[in-house]
């Protein structure tokens, strides 16, 4: 490959720029309603400012949500996106419809 050719340099520059964009976007914090890992230390939060990693009832997964879940319009944070087949009651027992066979 002849790197002195301006068209080759243009292609290389575009590829490198695209790679930088991908890397930087992968490091961005989680937006409201995006899944997150609750086991990450608080000082390394996966969620954007103003959001914390929470497990809203009746969801079985964790999402980046505001402290007051009922104030969220995101269906994962306010619980409306979680299906009945994945619900857990407050005692921690799976509801009917789970796959445990109990």
Cβ count within 10 A of residue 5: 10
pLDDT surpassing 50 at residue 87 = no
Give residue-wise pLDDT tens across range 5-33. Answer: 656 556 555 655 454 333 344 456 899 99
Judged against a pLDDT cut of 70, whether residue 84 lies above it is answered with no
In 3D, which of 51, 71, 70 has the Cα closest to residue 62?
Answer: 51
Query: With bands split at pLDDT 50, 70 and 90, how would you rate the model's confidence at 94?
Result: very low
3-state secondary structure at position 52: strand
Q: What is the pLDDT of residue 26?
A: 46
* H-state helical runs in the chain: 6-26
Tell me how long the chain is: 102
Mean pLDDT of 78-99: 54
Residue with tokens 């969620």: 47
Closest CA to 35 of 61, 63, 57: 63
Separation of alpha carbons 5 and 73, rounded Å: 53
pLDDT value at residue 7: 62
What are the sequence ranges of the domains in the chain? 1-29, 31-89
């Amino acid at each position: 490959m002849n790197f002195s050719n301006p068209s080759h340099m243009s292609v290389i520059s575009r590829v490198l720029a695209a790679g930088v964009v991908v890397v930087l976007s992968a490091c961005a914090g989680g937006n409201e309603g995006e899944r997150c890992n609750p086991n990450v230390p608080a000082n390394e939060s996966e969620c954007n400012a103003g959001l914390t990693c929470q497990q809203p009832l009746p969801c079985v997964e964790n999402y980046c949500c505001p402290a007051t879940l009922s104030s969220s319009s995101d269906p994962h944070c306010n619980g409306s996106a979680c299906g009945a087949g994945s619900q857990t009651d407050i005692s921690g027992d799976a509801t009917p419809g789970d796959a445990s066979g109990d």
